Amino acid sequence: MSNKTIFVTGGAGFIGLHVIPLLLEQGHRVRIFDNMSRGDRTRVNEFVASGNVDVVE
């Protein structure tokens, strides 16, 4: 499978935090969309630091 940019809604939530590492392991870039109403930006900072994750709030 070719590497793609995957858009994950609710990326700072429970499911997003479990899906994102799997996508990164497969070599994909990830764009997270989350309004942070229930999530916390600090939860995704480690992924953002990898350089393969962008966050849209």
* pLDDT of res. 40: 79
Which tens digit of pLDDT belongs to each residue from 1-57? 678 999 999 999 999 999 999 999 999 999 999 998 887 788 899 999 999 999 998
Identify whether the C-beta of residue 44 lies closer than 8 Å to the C-beta of residue 21. Answer: no
Identify whether the C-beta of residue 24 lies closer than 8 Å to the C-beta of residue 47. Answer: yes
pTM of the complete model: 0.86
* pLDDT of res. 1: 60
**In whole angstroms, what is the distance from residue 18 CA to residue 37 CA?**
19
How is the chain split into domains, by residue range?
5-56
